[in-house]
Amino acid sequence: MRMLDASRFQNADKYADYLKTPSGRLRSELAWENLRRFLPSNTSKRRALDIGGGTGLASVQLAQMGYEVVLLDSSEEMLRIAREQVAPSDVPTRISFCHHDASRLSELFAAESLDFVICHNLLEFSDNPSAMVRGIANVLRKDAVLSVLVRNRAGEVLKNAIKSRDWKIAVANLTAETVVDSLYQEPVRVFTLSEVRALLIRAGLEVVAEHGVRVFCDYVDLENLTDAAFSTIFEAESALGMRPEFAAIARYIQVIARRSGEGNGA
């Protein structure tokens, strides 16, 4: 199976533009709001890793909270954009940039050396998600937090059934390992909540929260939204994403976990 890899981001500006759309903003801002409540108020001398951090949105937010942040990405173009985004902020000295593949975490970071890791929209592009999660768990300190965001299989099925009206594809996606990415037209992996939960538990992590991200906004007109309209949609999406019955059909699954055990699973 050929997965969409870092070469997709040679046109990184295309992805950066997407993040500025209402859909892109909702994905990023809802995920941040979900995980923010699990971050300690005292972040002095705490280290965070934004793995596959792209344009650096989350890295800036973490640095503004006081974290020392490493933004790791395998795309030079993404890191170029991230540096441009970070430079005018008030926290450039708290963010460092690392051009490496996520599979090399054990070479880049000592075991139990990080307090928080964001892994958003990265496992979809991994040939071995289980190994990647184990690698992340290995660099987490005890009580450290990990936030994972991935595409939800059920959300992809529903999107195809409603928007494309290609019901054959919708039914096929009930069991498909990958779907076609709408931005780059390449295959990306999809997950169920139980699959994500199992990946984390096998790595020795304790699941502490589960959310759906973007329950309904993909099916409504988001063009030319006022700030007030965006805020209203954000509040509704946030409330629905916390309800399991609605989270089950969201476009994305977000699972927040903590390393609380003595070691990592096999």
Tell me, yes or no, whether 12 lies in a domain: yes
pLDDT of 16 over the 80 cut? yes
pLDDT at 27 over 50: yes
Confidence of residue 11 (pLDDT cuts 50, 70, 90): confident
Structure confidence at residue 203 (pLDDT): 97
Q: Report if residue 144 sits inside a domain.
A: yes
Residue 170, domain member (yes or no): no
Residue 169 is predicted with a pLDDT of 85
Identify which has the larger pLDDT, 191 or 42. Answer: 191
Q: Is residue 179 part of a domain?
A: no
* pLDDT digits 0-9 by tens, 163-189: 888 888 888 889 988 888 887 778 899
- Whole-model pTM: value is 0.92
Domain count for the chain: 1
Separation of alpha carbons 206 and 197, rounded Å: 9
Task: Determine, yes or no, domain membership for 116.
Answer: yes
Give the CATH number, domain containing residue 31: 3.40.50.150
Inside any domain, residue 223: yes
What would the two tokens of residue 238 be? Answer: 């946030």
Per the structure, the complete domain to which residue 235 belongs is given by 6-151+191-258
The sign of the dihedral angle between the CA atoms of 126, 155, 29, 184 is: positive
Q: Where are the beta strands (DSSP E) in 190-236?
A: 206-213
User: What is the distance in angstroms between the CA of the first residue and the CA of the last residue of the chain?
Assistant: 25
Range name among 10-14, 219-223, 236-240 with the lowest pLDDT average: 10-14
Q: How many CB atoms lie within 10 A of CB 80?
A: 14
User: Residue 51: which H helix or E strand, with range?
Assistant: strand 47-51
Taking residues 93-100, what's their average pLDDT?
93
Give SS3 for 183: coil
Helices 22-36/57-64 angle, 10° precision: 30
Helix (H) or strand (E) holding 143: strand 140-151
In a domain, 57, yes or no: yes
Look at residue 180 and tell me if it is in a domain.
no
